[in-house]
Structure 1
Amino acid sequence: MKPAQHPISDLFGRLRGDMPPLTKPEMSQTISFARITLIVGLVFLHYVAYPNSMNSPFDGMDPAAFPLATFVNSFVLFFFFSVVPLLSMVSGWLYFTFDSDRAMPALRERIWKRVGSLYLPLVFWNTLYLMVAMLACVHLPNHGFLAQLNFQPAEAGFMQHVNAVFALTAHPIAFQFWFVRDLLVTVLLSPVLWLALRHAPYLGMAVLGVAWLFGHDLFVFFRTDVAFFFYLGGFLRMYRVPLHIGRGATIALLLLYVALVALRTLAPLAIDVQPHRPELLNLATRAMRPIGVLACWGLCLQLARTQVGAKIARYGGLSFFVFATHFPLIAAVKLALWPLLPVESDGWMIAHYVASVALTVAISLSVGMFIARFVPTVFAWMNGGRVLPVAARETWAGSVPRGA
């Protein structure tokens, strides 16, 4: 790899201010912190709508019914729209670590490894969820849980069953795995991306960027979010662009992003988003994500270096497990807790929202740590080959009474 000066380098130079360069351990800790916290953000996003709401949080708040509760739900959803782009950038940054003189052997090795760490877990988890859905279809055919899925076993044809597990041409039953499927497709195309990064970096960035901005799937992706931001991460790595963002820049970016997210959430007050959102509004929603990526990355940089952040980062190895288990678990938890509300009001709906996410994350973390503690090889297989660090396993072991 060769260092080069680019406008993007100048941009990060202005953003980092007086922040010193990150050491390798600091970068590793920041990435671990980012992974686990961003996946928790994804759980909030996949709560989707309140059980009593006819309004999709993807449209924005509902001015007519429970405006405060729907504002909170929609605001958090739009805020965490930066999760997939940022995780994709981190993946691209980590992927393109090889020297140019051994690019092809390195790419072949990485592609083969990613098939095992991405696609095999995708097939495993979706097979498991398909079995759960089929059992629910037989024993609980009228339960609201089935309606939360994007797949109905009793009505699905052969190809729908295939896609439910393998995600070939449509989203799998655990729809969060669309990200893993698109990441794998991006990895399979990484030799092409590497050639573009090597010989025409801005042309490749423009092609993928325009496709992403206007929502074109380029015929092979579900969405081009992963490919575009993966490419950006590879660009940052290949051209050695420093990733430091100072505290002042982080605060400024975060305030700007919060303001943009709030405006997007309030859009139904000024724009009719029913029955179809205006394309210009969709375009604006996508356009604010790069700001969110910078703001969230800067926030992760600042928080990961604190004592609390360091402790949270120790559980970065659980991020894939939480990602894999949080849906449809969040759907089941949401429906189970809803009858406990004393009254359907804004306050209680927000409490239900937070409690559902908290319980889902707690269950996922507890199950993951239990399996990692007592059958680490099984956990690693379910976790895409990712082993939970010994320190995290010891923390779990310390919380379990001896002989339990």
Structure 2
Amino acid sequence: MLSNEASLRLKILRFPLIVGVVFIHNYDLSSTLHGSSIGFAHAGALLDFVRNIVSQGIARVSVPLLFLISGYLFFLDFQPTIQSLAGKLKSRSRTLLIPFIFWNVATLTVIALAQSVPAASKFLSGKTTPVSHLNGEALLDLIFGIHGVPISYQFWFIRDLMVLVLLSPLVYVLCRRLGAPLLLALLGLWLANIWWVAVPASDATLFFMIGAWLAIKGMTPFCVDRIGSLATIVYIPLLLFDAVRFGSAGDLVVHKVSILLGVVSVLWMTRYAIRSDDLKNHLVRLSGTSFFVFAAHEPLLTICRKISFKWVPLHSSYVAVGFYFLIPAFVIALLASLHPRMSVRFPRFTALACGGR
């Protein structure tokens, strides 16, 4: 069983991790409208450093942590029986599969409508085939991401998570029999950027299995607390170093080691976050909006970016940095305030779209 403190620490992580996901998707400050590029194509040193440290640095711990927590919660109190597995799969079909289909179909519908309305179509890139010209196989590919990412691209996370859930009996056996040596091997493959399958991705597999192993062994993700302070001391300068060198030759291992240390640091910092009643209560309240913000932030983020870039010229790095923070802040605040109102006015619809969250 999870202690009250550990449960609280996991809960307050949900919203900040989704904020991190939004900022990952906000990295590019240029867009395309019917073949024409708008925005801030030439970033400049200031914007490069800011977005590297935020989108490619701090925010990059979000996806590994979300997979780790998902693996941990799936295998928490897991019993190797048909009944236990069936119960887990039934629960995940409601929380993962139904929202996955809902949001991808909704995104496909929005794009199809935008393509058919001249006033809206001018905000599209003009590079994609009209939805009305696609056959059934192509539509299914866009919805489920069979040969790439789904049409609502952030849902690659849910797709990979569903695959790992289906592979959970194998994950359970491997974690029980091979344990730490297997995780070290997966860690080595991830650091070396070696992987043989598209789905699930290497980071999804590694961190989901770390979470599964912790649960199976009766530990919590917060067992890293004893090395948290040391990890943070190393993480901060490595984060700055990675931000300066991001994208350069030989930086990949440094980048991934930085992410790994960031995961440990963030888990450790939650022990202090729960000591502030105001911060704790605010994050607990916002945790309920996390999935909705995740699901709806795209294509809204892209739409807001294109509208902003069309009407406001980015003539300096300072303006670009301002837009870099203001656009996602607006999207996050809008969706976080919209979700509770939808839950009151349209409870069944909101529950369906958010998997009962």
Matches within 5 A, 1:112-261: 112-140=90-118, 145-147=123-125, 153=131, 159-219=137-197, 221-244=199-222, 250-261=228-239
* RMSD after superposition: 2.8
The whole-number CA distance in structure 1 between the counterparts of 2:60 and 2:334 is 24
Report if the CA contact (8 A) 2:242-2:258 is conserved. no
Deviations 1:18-38 (A, max 9, x none): xxxxx7222222212101111
Alignment correspondent of 1:382: 353
Residue 251 (structure 1) shift? 4.8
Alignment correspondent of 2:240: 262
1:288 matches 2:258: yes
Deviations 1:42-90 (A, max 9, x none): 11111121123336xxxxxxxxx52112211121112211101111111
| Change in 2 beyond 3 A, CA 1:300/1:337 | farther
TM-score, normalised with respect to structure 2 = 0.87
| Change in 2 beyond 3 A, CA 1:283/1:215 | same
Report if the CA contact (8 A) 2:17-2:62 is conserved. yes
The whole-number CA distance in structure 1 between the counterparts of 2:266 and 2:354 is 25
Deviations 1:296-335 (A, max 9, x none): 1122332133112222212212111111001111111122
| Change in 2 beyond 3 A, CA 1:285/1:161 | farther
The whole-number CA distance in structure 1 between the counterparts of 2:134 and 2:238 is 40
Deviations 1:4-26 (A, max 9, x none): xxxxxxxxxxxxxxxxxxx7222
The whole-number CA distance in structure 2 between the counterparts of 1:352 and 1:186 is 37
Once the two structures are overlaid, the 10-residue window that deviates more, 146-155 or 107-116, is 146-155
SS in 1 for 2:84: helix
SS in 2 for 1:170: coil
| Change in 2 beyond 3 A, CA 1:378/1:199 | same
Report if the CA contact (8 A) 1:211-1:218 is conserved. no
Alignment correspondent of 1:71: 49
Aligned match for 1:53, one of 31, 40, 43: 40
State how many pairs are aligned. 347
Report if the CA contact (8 A) 1:151-1:173 is conserved. no
The whole-number CA distance in structure 1 between the counterparts of 2:268 and 2:284 is 15
Aligned match for 1:97, one of 58, 62, 76: 76
Aligned match for 2:319, one of 307, 326, 348: 348
TM-score, normalised with respect to structure 1 = 0.77
Alignment correspondent of 2:34: none
Report if the CA contact (8 A) 2:164-2:200 is conserved. no
| Change in 2 beyond 3 A, CA 1:353/1:220 | closer
Report if the CA contact (8 A) 2:222-2:267 is conserved. no
Deviations 1:185-204 (A, max 9, x none): 00000100100111221343
The whole-number CA distance in structure 1 between the counterparts of 2:236 and 2:135 is 43
Alignment correspondent of 2:36: none
Residue 116 (structure 1) shift? 2.4
Residue 288 (structure 1) shift? 2.5
Deviations 1:356-402 (A, max 9, x none): 0111011211221111122222211111122xxxxxxxxxxxxxxxx
| Change in 2 beyond 3 A, CA 1:251/1:329 | farther
Residue 97 (structure 1) shift? 1.8
| Change in 2 beyond 3 A, CA 1:182/1:148 | farther
| Change in 2 beyond 3 A, CA 1:156/1:281 | farther
